[in-house]
Amino acid sequence: MRTIHLNSSNLEEFQKDAIPNVMALGFFDGIHNGHQKVIHTAREIARKRNLPLAVMSFFPHPKTVLSKDDSKFDYLMSLSKKSSILESLNVDIFYIVKFDKDFCSLLPEQFVSSYLLDMQVNHAVAGFDFSYGHRGAGKVDSLKRDSGDLIEVTKVKEVDYQGEKISSTWIRQLISEGKMEQLMSLLGRFYETEVYWEAGNLRVSEHFMLPAPGIYKAGVTIKGERWETEVLVPKNRMDVYLAEQGKYHFLPNEKLGIIWYYRIPIAKETEGENISII
């Protein structure tokens, strides 16, 4: 899979380089079951039309550019984690478009012309609520018209769970409430946080979330190895502590994956205490 960072200054070079493709569109933070439906639909069309499958996503998240509130945005995964999952879904080209003030002021037709038609998109696939162009004025139902009827469009119906739309926002909320056991139904897997060893602590990597403070049953993965243990998330939600952490010898900046299963209920009286499982 080729990963290409697109922006207004290198766009022309990649327009020249582009080949006819089928493209899935959206931010895809977490690559949940709704996102997977969009990507699988696009992959099926690409296979039938014997064209490469592209995914076009944006970075940073539109909300960090559009909203006045500059509080930290809770990404579910880093771009490299998103890239490795897209590769496992047999995506051929992953475009990451720089989402900045200039980009977000593009009119819908301008976005379709420069980022889809000029990038040789023959067939676009997006979910029912995908929006594009200034103020999100472009909707998936207007995409074919905005392309002058040159792009075939497939709209993916809402994928819901118990009647609610599966969304990255819902997943962020469940993680912040520590309801990790519910994520399998929305993500199709347990949520995994990347952490790294620094100066005697396991710190959360950028663009990953930690669950609410508490003690969790979790899987730990490092260099292909995996074992089950308990993991403490303290109130500062910056570091994590593995049960019997002292017995491991991690290298500086060594990365681990924490796969969260469920929060272990603890008796009320010990709630506030400095729980030591180390």
Ligand X SMILES: Nc1ncnc2c1ncn2[C@@H]1O[C@H](COP(=O)(O)OP(=O)(O)OP(=O)(O)O)[C@@H](O)[C@H]1O
Ligand Y SMILES: Cc1cc2nc3c(=O)[nH]c(=O)nc-3n(C[C@H](O)[C@H](O)[C@H](O)COP(=O)(O)O)c2cc1C
What would the two tokens of residue 29 be?
């933070």
Q: Which does 211 bind (CB under 5 to 8 A by kind): ligand X, ligand Y, none?
A: none
Q: Which does 62 bind (CB under 5 to 8 A by kind): ligand Y, ligand X, none?
A: ligand Y
**Binders of ligand Y among 154-173, rule CB under 6 A?**
none
159 binds ligand X (CB under 6 A): yes
111 binds ligand Y (CB under 6 A): yes
DSSP string, the chain: -EEEEE-TTTHHHHHHH---EEEEES--SS--HHHHHHHHHHHHHHHHTT--EEEEEEES-HHHHH-S--SPP--SS-HHHHHHHHHHTT-SEEEEEE--HHHHTS-HHHHIIIIIGGGTEEEEEEETT-EESGGG-EEGGGHHHHTTT-SEEEEEPPPEETTEE--HHHHHHHHHTT-GGGHHHHHSS--EEEEEEETTEEEEPTT----SSEEEEEEEEETTEEEEEEEEE-TT-SEEEETTGGG--PPTT-EEEEEEEEEPP--GGGTTS-----
60 binds ligand Y (CB under 6 A): no
Q: Which of 6, 22, 156, 256 binds ligand X (CB under 6 A)?
A: 156
CB of 39 to ligand X, least distance (A): 8
178 binds ligand Y (CB under 6 A): no
Q: Considering only the stretches 92-100, 155-163, 221-229, 238-246, report the one whose residues sit in contact with ligand X under the rule CB under 6 A.
A: 155-163
103 binds ligand Y (CB under 6 A): yes
Q: Which does 159 bind (CB under 5 to 8 A by kind): ligand X, ligand Y, none?
A: ligand X
Q: Which of 15, 131, 205, 245 binds ligand Y (CB under 6 A)?
A: 131
Q: Which of 4, 89, 104, 212 binds ligand Y (CB under 6 A)?
A: 104
**Binders of ligand X among 23-52, rule CB under 6 A?**
25-29, 34-35, 37-38
129 binds ligand X (CB under 6 A): yes
Residues binding ligand Y: number (CB under 6 A): 12
Q: Which of 46, 167, 197, 208 binds ligand X (CB under 6 A)?
A: 167
Distance CA 161, CA 138 (A): 27
Distance CA 225, CA 259 (A): 13
Q: Which of 77, 85, 127, 211 binds ligand X (CB under 6 A)?
A: 127
Where does this chain bind ligand Y (CB under 6 A)? 62, 66, 103-104, 106, 111, 131-136
